[in-house]
Amino acid sequence: MAFTAKDVQALRQATGVGMLDAKRALEENGGDIGEATQWLRVHGLAGAAKRADREASQGAVAVVREGNVAAMVDLRCETDFVAKAAEFVSLADELASLVVTKGEHAGAERQEEIDHLRTTLKENISLGRTVRIEAADGEVLDTYLHQQAGRGVNGVIVLLRGGGQELAHDVALHIAFARPSYLRREDVPDAEVAAERATVEEISRNEGKPEAALPKIVEGRMNGWFKERCLLEQNFARDEKQTIAGMLSSAGAEVVRFAQIVIGS
């Protein structure tokens, strides 16, 4: 009995196995989904359905740069044991290279390999964030990747307009250390700001601060909150006497965009 792509998808959804295993099971059982499901159970493959529900909080970050283009991908798994496996790290690197060449969604082309790895390594493995940044004329691109035990765990791409390669690298290193979430305070969602301001006001009142002094106290605490989250307001990690904004201004440069992926965050 012949089978279709819909049959493959239905078997994958029912059992949690990868595409290659689903196709093989259907081929071995004449396209019968019921028998294919039993075949997968007998061969110890259907357990992947349970793995899909487990948290993938480990993994590897891969960063690849080719000329004026850089890409970064997050390949996720459950344990650092699998994250350090040679085939896992190699696939992450291959995915990043593919994204550089073909675009931000090119990782989907390797879904079969991801599914196969999920089955062979017996963990919930998936492609997480994918970032691709291309520099135009007059822009400077730099990357940084911190590694532990042979796999990337903290990756950064930064794009500057103006300035030079050394400055871009300094900013990338700072981002890796300080882990800002936004470029400037205007980028922080209004709802997030409002929620924090309300919390800070309540904390200040509970501390018994004078009502008349509350606006100034709240503003000071909000400035500190923004400083933790916004790159341009942070003090430069290697020279805390100057902010990132001040350092960029003195070099006639500005950050166009940055991206960071940290395993486990």
Q: What is the pLDDT of residues 148-202, one digit of tens each?
A: 989 999 999 999 999 999 999 999 999 999 999 999 999 999 999 999 999 899 9
Taking the alpha carbons of 95, 97, 100, 102 in that order, is the dihedral positive or negative?
Answer: negative
pLDDT at 60: 96
Max Cα-Cα span within the chain? 80
pLDDT-derived band at 101, boundaries 50, 70, 90: very high
pLDDT of residue 1: 61
Look at residue 43 in the predicted model and tell me its pLDDT. 65
Helices (H), 78-212: 80-83, 86-102, 111-121, 165-178, 190-206
Over 60: is that where the pLDDT of 203 sits?
yes
Residue predicted with more confidence, 46 or 258: 258
Q: Hey, what CATH topology would domain 189-229 get?
A: GTP Cyclohydrolase I; Chain A, domain 1 (1.10.286)
User: Which of these ranges, 38-52, 79-93, 170-184, has the smallest mean pLDDT?
Assistant: 38-52
Sequence ranges of the domains in the chain: 5-51, 58-184+230-262, 189-229
Residue 223 DSSP SS3: helix
- CA of 1: how far to CAs of 6, 22, 111, in Å? 14, 15, 26
Q: Is the pLDDT of residue 70 over 80?
A: yes
Q: Is the pLDDT of residue 141 over 90?
A: yes
Question: Which is nearest to 152 in space by CA: 263, 265, 264, 56?
Answer: 263
Q: How far is Cα 75 from Cα 194, in angstroms, rounded to an integer?
A: 34
CATH 3.10.180.10 describes domain 58-184+230-262: no
Q: So what's the pLDDT on residue 254?
A: 97
The answer to whether the CB of 174 falls within 8 A of the CB of 237 is yes
Contacts of 229 (CB under 8 A, 6+ apart): 180, 181, 182, 188
Other C-beta atoms closer than 10 Å to the C-beta of 253 total 19
**Class of the 5-51 domain?**
mainly alpha
Instruction: Check if the beta carbon of residue 11 is closer than 8 Å to that of residue 33.
Output: yes
| 3-state SS, residue 149 | coil
What span, in angstroms and rounded, lies between the C-alpha atoms of 134 and 152? Answer: 21
Mean pLDDT of 109-116: 88
DSSP-derived letter for residue 183 is S
**Amino acid letter, 254:** E
The answer, yes or no, to whether residue 11 has pLDDT greater than 90, is no
pLDDT digit string (tens) for 46-62?
555 455 455 668 999 99
Cα separation values, 103 from 22, 66, 96, 262, Å: 28, 13, 10, 21
Average pLDDT of the chain, as a whole number: 90
Q: Rounded distance, CA 70 to CA 159, Å?
A: 10
Handedness of CA 14, 20, 21, 27 (dihedral sign): positive
pLDDT at 264: 79
Q: Is the pLDDT of residue 253 over 60?
A: yes
